[in-house]
Structure 1
């Protein structure tokens, strides 16, 4: 039996990961966190339909006994969903390495993900894989870029956008992470040089087509902004924006960012709970449709200008499953021994580890659809391709 510990296992993302792994044989899944009642409640929901053995564990990553209590579970794999990761140190992955366990997290914090390589030697010495950022970004976004990379001789721009539906479930940790840099500066690669951008500013509207229509976007700080200029030899720009579906909420955030930028507010993160509570009053408005877009532009193999636009559509409130898929895919590979041939050891961000095809079975399960369009020089040549799970767009 292989032991899997899911920290924050009853949370917004953790519960979805638990659901996706309970069909595995010869696995014990520990739903772990500080609240034993919530863990027990989820266990009782999952156990009747599980092939895996589902157990609970009361663990607090900030407790002095965390290392010994985790080690006592003899974990083969630890999945860390307990955000926000902004401000966290590497205590959790280091404990996992010392316990000889593989480690995966869904971190979205730029420093946490990009600097995880500091643990590379320790992880290699223990023969384990430590992966940070196994989420929509950079896990899925890099898989998309890798899928189309061979169609370019050079890349000039990469632009990524995520637009969740207003009715999608909100995670407190995710909101707290966003608020930590709202109105604060961070470096971006723009016009071929590194410049400053401000969190949740530079608002614009992006048209995602008939399914998700026009959505509001603004600057968000993610690891991709730092990783991709060198990884893909981008010459001009790497950008990422996300937004809220309702204008009143989106531009409320823009206003909050401005107040922070001019110094009237120092940090919005401590107000994450009341801000989430206030936004929930608008939960009946908008849609349950989410979208994600990755645009790659550059020169094709024949020397022509080329742009590839890959757009994903998530219906029925299934958008929150997308951030969990990179972690689920990696976990299944590790637990089914595929890692012996397909995955390295060491510590790294979640880039160049997954293929776009790895996601297709999960997209089908959650009726998620994606569409790609290739546009050539002067837009005279178009080629479109769909992966359709059956829903209308």
Structure 2
């Protein structure tokens, strides 16, 4: 099935507009930018056209929660739907199911653990309709699994995966992302630690980690992501998988840690109901800090000689380019579908669906780069 029409849900949002920008450079396809505001969708179409877009662009108002959504989707008849409309916490699979129904491929940028991990429930339906349904085509687990796949064969036994994301305070952020994080702030979730599944609490266990000379040391805290469940299954023998993220400004970061404590002891049930207030408050500090962020993945285990080995992979994004990182997995997969170079069908999380070389082809022109440090013994 040739992909010639791409529908981007949330197409003018923080991530959607970056995906639209990248795909608009492809001649011979149509990109439909969709969201609840037709004015914002039309404005992005106009902006991309002024920048010399080669793709045909159109705008439409769509609400995925509307009773008219399936009808609109059938009328549009896209070959690929890219769903960026978070937060995905609490969402059902109405969009993915609708795509299967009309025989359209589907990619989302979800980071919610249950949403991404349970997408396999749609596998048989997707295969029956010969479509590809991918969830989590973002920094995690899309990029994280690609990086680990690059190094896993260098270990005779991979024992520990410890990774983190540290965005710059000045980098553009979306309210939906904040809402998703707040939904589990102070709440327990399971992680694999030294071979045992134990509870960790969202936005707690604060620590500082060195991201190298460009980024420096950043505060981190626990974040619940699909990888905590997916990676122990993918990489057999791993005993510990941990993930954290943080805010660059210590005041904001430690304030979140305190909020997590209040939720843990039961004084606040759900911080996400205050998302708008918290998001607006954080914007007051937007000019502080830097526009530089990154990602770090630490792998520990044993080499072919059964000697201890550690690999540290660090990704750096300067000049406010960091928000492009979560979009690159979806962009890579969309381009592969458009080129007809991916034959996979069914429904699955985005695990090892592209190579690090393919990532670099998209990342390096943006100024996003990475380097590796290896220790033996």
Q: TM-score, normalised by structure 2?
A: 0.98
- Corresponding residue number in structure 2 for 1:310: 313
In structure 2, what is the Cα distance between the partners aligned to 1:82 and 1:302? 47
Report how far residue 191 of structure 1 moved.
1.7
Aligned-pair CA distance for 1:357: 0.7
| Structure 1 residue ranges, 4+ long, deviating more than 3 angstroms after superposition | none
Question: CA offset at residue 239 of structure 1?
Answer: 0.2
Residue 235 of structure 1: how far off its partner (Å):
3.4
Conserved? CA contact 1:228–1:234, under 8 Å? no
RMSD (Å), alpha carbons: 0.8
Structure 2 equivalent of residue 352 of structure 1: 352
Task: Tell me the secondary structure at the aligned position of residue 333 of structure 1.
Answer: helix
Report the Cα offset of residue 236 of structure 1. 2.1
**C-alpha separation in 1, matches of 2:74 and 2:49:** 24
- What displacement does 1:147 show? 0.4
Bigger drift between 99-108 and 366-375 goes to 366-375
Q: Is the 8 A contact 1:157 1:234 kept in 2?
A: no
| Equivalent in the alignment of 2:179 | 176
Equivalent in the alignment of 1:301? 304
Deviates more, 1:45-54 or 1:126-135: 45-54
Does the CA-based 8 Å contact 1:165-1:289 persist in structure 2?
yes
Distance 2:4 2:139 in 1: 26
SS state at 1:266 partner:
coil
CA distance in 1, matches of 2:238, 2:295: 23
> 2:227 corresponds to which residue?
224
Match of 2:16 among 6, 14, 17: 14
Structure 1 distance, partners of 2:322, 2:136, is 17
Deviations 1:261-314 (A, max 9, x none): 000000011111111110010011100000100111111112111010000010
CA contact (8 A) 2:332 2:362 kept: no
- The equivalent of 1:73 in structure 2 is 76
Q: TM-score, normalised by structure 1?
A: 0.94
Equivalent in the alignment of 1:383 = none
Partner Cα distance (1:154, 1:115) in 2: 28
**SS of alignment partner, residue 239 of structure 2:** strand
Q: Is the 8 A contact 2:8 2:34 kept in 1?
A: yes
Which consecutive residues of structure 1, in runs of 5 or more, have no partner in the other structure? 378-393
| Alpha-carbon separation, structure 1, partners of 2:274 and 2:19 | 28
- Find the residue that maps to 1:183 and give its secondary structure: coil
2:85 corresponding residue in structure 1: 82
Q: SS state of the match for residue 306, structure 1?
A: strand
What is the alpha-carbon distance in structure 1 between the residues aligned to residue 63 and residue 107 of structure 2? 17
How many residues are matched?
A: 374
**Paired residue for 2:126?**
123
1:210 to 206, 209, 213: 213
SS in 2 for 1:181: coil
Unaligned runs of 5+ in 2: none
